[in-house]
Amino acid sequence: MPSPRDIDTVLKGWSFRPGEVTARLVKTRGGREVIQMRVDMGLLQMETEQRPDGAHPHGAETYYDYLVGEAIRSGDSFRLNREQCVEADREFVQYYHRRICWLSLREYRRAARDADHSLAFMDFVKEHSPDDEWTLSHEQYRPFVLFHRVQAGALAALEEKGPALAIHEINAGLDRFRDLFARYDAADQYSEDELVRRLEQMRESVRERYDVGRTLDEQLTDAVRAEDYERAAQLRDALRQVKIAAATEGVVAEQGDGSATDPIDGSATDRIDGSATDRIDGSATDRIDGSATDRIDGSATDRIDGSATDRARRRIKGRDASDVGPFAGDGRDDGVDVPF
């Protein structure tokens, strides 16, 4: 008689495919929804809300929340100790796994939410890091996480609000990339960066597919650059009206179904279809049809092979790439460089 601990029936007919993220949403016996991610020798099961492992570290919703409380109690002198560094990395890895699952499942708003968590946590550990080496071992992955955030936000906006808002999301994300490069004295590398180019390609794909001209934001930028201030003022008024209309729509949606809605991006979306896997090695979008994409752009970031993260470290750290890789040692006996 099979043991109740045996998972053969769970894995039957669900093969692991190297180089792909294979994920599905399932209901537990208790009725809650969880994510399952197929891995080489089994599966990972993750909660869909708060921490993926369902834990409440020290009673907090996430380890990040716990550390924020510790920092408030300790004041400006707070620095992460060895144990806290290890636990922070555990949470980063958990959110990374769930984020790529959300992208595979085309749950773009949820992928964006998890990326926001990781970016905020990265800001926190940078501020309270025990040393520069540990800081830099994490900052190398910021472009990787930011790329996912922009991509997910744009695809969510495309589904919820249309192509103009998707282009707005991409442009806002490119501005964040530009600021990031400037922060690390690498502004001259911005236009040649692979992730930046992929986002630009994605933007132009949306523009071409939906026959979208220059958006109000882009027209405003053009007007300011041309010093046409009368035109710029008109465009600002038009943008203000769009944001007011979007905010009003958000209030109506919240009253109608109780879900919180972002005034620009919209609320979380339900799953678009039943597909469980997406190849994470393709171009920005094989299809941009307002509902989903066949493949998520990830050749530079999603495959866990160190290629993009090596480049990220070289960009940001200016170090030789011979010692890097997503699971290379970071100089600590128990530390790892993690693909956030």
Q: Is residue 80 part of a domain?
A: yes
Nearest Cα to 115, choosing from 149, 80, 142, 140?
149
Number of structural domains (the chain) is 2
Q: Is residue 67 part of a domain?
A: yes
Q: Is residue 5 part of a domain?
A: no
133 and 220 inside one domain: no
Nearest Cα to 63, choosing from 73, 54, 53, 51?
51
Q: Is residue 140 part of a domain?
A: yes
- Quote helix, strand, coil % in the chain, to nearest 5: 55, 10, 35
Residues spanned by the domain of 165 = 50-211+281-323
140 and 248 inside one domain: no
189 and 316 inside one domain: yes
Per-residue model confidence as pLDDT tens for the chain (340 residues): 566 677 888 888 899 999 999 999 999 989 999 999 999 989 999 999 999 999 999 999 999 999 999 999 999 899 999 999 999 999 999 999 999 999 999 999 999 999 999 999 999 999 999 999 999 999 999 999 999 999 999 999 999 989 988 999 999 999 999 999 999 899 999 999 999 999 999 999 999 999 888 877 787 888 888 888 888 888 888 878 877 876 776 544 444 433 333 333 333 333 323 333 333 333 333 334 433 333 334 333 333 333 333 444 344 444 332 232 222 223 223 322 334 5
Nearest Cα to 261, choosing from 193, 166, 269, 148?
269
| Stated pTM of the model | 0.72
Q: CA 87 to CA 249: how far, in whole Å?
A: 40
180 and 295 inside one domain: yes
138 and 253 inside one domain: no
198 and 229 inside one domain: no
Asked if 321 contacts 307 with a C-beta cutoff of 8 angstroms, the reply is no
315 and 192 inside one domain: yes
60 and 186 inside one domain: yes
